[in-house]
Amino acid sequence: MATDERSISSRGKEEEATEDVYNESTIDPIYQRKAHILNDAIQGIGMGKYQWALFVVTGFGWLADNLWPIVTGLILPAVVQEFEFQGPFLKLGQNIGLLVGAVFWGVGSDIWGRRISFNITLLITGVFALAAGGSPNYIALSSFAAVWSIGVGGNLPVDSAIFLEFLPKSHQYLLTVLSIWWAFGQLLGSLVAWPLIGNYSCDTNQVPCPHSANQGWRYFLFAMGGLMMLLWGVRFFVFKLYESPKYLMGRGRDAEAVEAVHKVARYNGKESNLTIEDLRKAGDEKENPDVEPVVMDTSVKAAVRRNLSELSGDHVRPLFANAKLAWSTSLIITLWALIGLAFPLYNAFVTYYLSTRGADFGDGSVYITYRNASTPFPFSLGSLQTILSVIGVPGALLAGYLVDLPLLGRRGTLAISTVLTGVFILASTTARTSDALLGWNCAYSFTSNVMYGVLYALTPELFPTKDRGTGNALAAAANRVFGVMAPIIALYGNLTTSVPMFVSGALFLVAGAISLLLPFESRGRAAL
């Protein structure tokens, strides 16, 4: 057998801890047994070279997920000067693309597998970012931003599922630590934009700003698009991703699932005892008399029919299979929706708010206004934006430690960090000096990175593998739908009041309270 007494004992405790959420009315019992066998096999292989390589290449997706929303903020002042349009239109195009990408790639990864989505999202981002560098007007730029964001939007639902499904249970906390790449994305954008846009842009008050004197934002897009092509090349040509064993098993391809486990073991310099018989016994009516034998039709016609049936909602319904699981899924989606509005709402308004409050701080200068903004600011001041970016890195590391503490776990860490994020946003409206405002924004940057680290990890852990991409896609879609609302509010709202800041802070507080209502704690449980 592929399991020893220790793994059987461990699995027994795992089943006991999760039987109220993953029971026969939620997940097919055959799938459950096979998932536990695969979990034991992955745990037996342990954390090795393959998983650490995955930490890097899936980290590229996390980096892109934070980098590109920041890119549009970094180029916004320069492109508004050149094209003379309402800046929120660029953000609106981007958020629509992120929404489409989250749904398309998330659901698609449950239909055609993880590898295709993994191998193409960064390519789409890079190609259209490079094209955007040559945009002749704001319509073209906004359109390219929407298309490159379709690629960016696939990173959260796809990459989190891939990394989680190859991790041994003992190292699932690394899904939280993976968000360190998210912080690196912000840092990278700030560092590259600083010299390029700072040295090759029009003066702040120069309107109109001619194309010839405003090349910095184009150079920046070329640089970031080229980086995405490089990262895609590493994924596609250097690292070979094996298809997820649990995905293959969930599609009835048990032999391929076993082979994938053995490939990972060989990559790590180990051997696995897993055999096809181990998985077949899980569905054998003689071994399990209460279960009907499963016969998988492998014809092309049947495969197409299964794909069409999956598109009709077969991956959505299991996420709401019983009252408790429906409650859990609904809360996760609600959390992503609230944060999806709160975060860009703050970013959309804070710069304008600060610019109208400069006199209150006794300085009123553009330097101080943008120095204290957590959104991107004039690029000769890139070093100060870099400070805020660097602060996010230890936040991701701390999140990885806190989520495995018995007294906190995923829920407690998420609740505390989300509430503190809201508190620091609200507190920033009380600042009467520029240094105080910078301090509040540094605190906000730190706690928000802890929050995102936990949320990115917790979400896929609460969904079973066969429906994980769809569950991630629903959460990401809710996040992007509400994110679309922020630039619309910015287009028609009163940017000079503190009301949007208070709304943003209040949304974070509500989200923190909701996270305490999650019915399941995934700490110490191997994802199914």
Tens of pLDDT, residues 258-268: 999 999 999 99
Tell me if 92 is assigned to some domain.
yes
278 vs 110, higher pLDDT: 278
Kindly tell me if the per-residue pLDDT of 411 is higher than 60.
Answer: yes
Give the pLDDT confidence score for residue 372 in this predicted structure: 43
Kindly tell me if the per-residue pLDDT of 475 is higher than 60.
Answer: yes
Kindly tell me if the per-residue pLDDT of 2 is higher than 50.
Answer: no
Q: What is the DSSP letter of 243?
A: P
Kindly tell me if the per-residue pLDDT of 148 is higher than 90.
Answer: yes
450 vs 77, higher pLDDT: 450
Give the pLDDT confidence score for residue 307 in this predicted structure: 42
Distance CA 139, CA 124 (A): 19
Tell me if 6 is assigned to some domain.
no
**Per-residue confidence band for 354, with pLDDT thresholds at 50, 70 and 90:** low
Backbone φ/ψ region at 84: left (φ over 0), alpha (ψ -120 to 50), beta: left
Residue 219 tokens read as 């150079």
Region of poorest pLDDT, from 240-244, 361-365, 378-382, 493-497: 378-382
What is the overall mean pLDDT for the chain? 79
Kindly tell me if the per-residue pLDDT of 374 is higher than 60.
Answer: no
Give the pLDDT confidence score for residue 434 in this predicted structure: 66
Give the pLDDT confidence score for residue 15 in this predicted structure: 41
What are the distances in angstroms from CA 301 to CA 112, 297, 298, 306, 319? 15, 9, 8, 9, 27
403 vs 478, higher pLDDT: 478
Give the pLDDT confidence score for residue 507 in this predicted structure: 95
Region of poorest pLDDT, from 11-25, 86-100, 326-340: 11-25
Q: What is the DSSP letter of 234?
A: I
Amino acid identity for residue 438 in this structure: L
| DSSP secondary structure of 163-225 | HHHHS-GGGTTHHHHTTHHHHHHHHHHHHHHHHHHHHSS--TT-SS--GGG--HHHHHHHHHH
Handedness of CA 178, 182, 188, 190 (dihedral sign): negative
Tell me if 323 is assigned to some domain.
yes
For the stretch 27-51, pLDDT in tens is: 567 777 888 899 899 999 999 999 9
Tell me if 56 is assigned to some domain.
yes
**Per-residue confidence band for 1, with pLDDT thresholds at 50, 70 and 90:** very low
Other beta carbons less than 10 A from residue 289's beta carbon: 7
Domain that holds residue 181: 49-238+319-515
- Looking up residue 353, the CATH number of its domain turns out to be 1.20.1250.20
**Per-residue confidence band for 291, with pLDDT thresholds at 50, 70 and 90:** very low
For the stretch 206-226, pLDDT in tens is: 777 888 888 999 999 999 999
Tell me if 5 is assigned to some domain.
no
Kindly tell me if the per-residue pLDDT of 498 is higher than 90.
Answer: no
Kindly tell me if the per-residue pLDDT of 525 is higher than 70.
Answer: no
Give the pLDDT confidence score for residue 156 in this predicted structure: 77
Kindly tell me if the per-residue pLDDT of 290 is higher than 60.
Answer: no
Q: Decide: 435 and 155 in contact? Cβ < 8 Å.
A: no
52 vs 377, higher pLDDT: 52
428 vs 310, higher pLDDT: 428
Highest mean pLDDT among 91-100, 118-127, 343-352, 473-482: 118-127
Tell me if 26 is assigned to some domain.
no
Distance CA 456, CA 467 (A): 16
Distance CA 39, CA 265 (A): 13
25 vs 20, higher pLDDT: 25
Give the pLDDT confidence score for residue 3 in this predicted structure: 39
Handedness of CA 131, 134, 135, 136 (dihedral sign): negative
Amino acid identity for residue 135 in this structure: S
3-state DSSP assignment of residue 288: coil
Residues 333-348: what's their mean pLDDT?
87
Global confidence as pTM: 0.75
Give the pLDDT confidence score for residue 429 in this predicted structure: 80
Residues 75-97: what's their mean pLDDT?
86
Give the pLDDT confidence score for residue 371 in this predicted structure: 40
Tell me if 265 is assigned to some domain.
no
Highest mean pLDDT among 87-96, 128-137, 170-179: 128-137
Highest mean pLDDT among 180-194, 468-482, 507-521: 507-521
Kindly tell me if the per-residue pLDDT of 419 is higher than 50.
Answer: yes
Q: Decide: 74 and 188 in contact? Cβ < 8 Å.
A: no
Kindly tell me if the per-residue pLDDT of 126 is higher than 80.
Answer: yes
**Per-residue confidence band for 349, with pLDDT thresholds at 50, 70 and 90:** low
Region of poorest pLDDT, from 54-58, 308-312, 379-383: 379-383
Tell me if 166 is assigned to some domain.
yes
How many domains would you assign to the chain?
Answer: 1
**Per-residue confidence band for 494, with pLDDT thresholds at 50, 70 and 90:** low
Give the pLDDT confidence score for residue 137 in this predicted structure: 94
105 vs 513, higher pLDDT: 513
Residue 251 tokens read as 């599609």
Kindly tell me if the per-residue pLDDT of 524 is higher than 60.
Answer: no
Kindly tell me if the per-residue pLDDT of 20 is higher than 60.
Answer: no
Give the pLDDT confidence score for residue 516 in this predicted structure: 92
Give the pLDDT confidence score for residue 204 in this predicted structure: 65
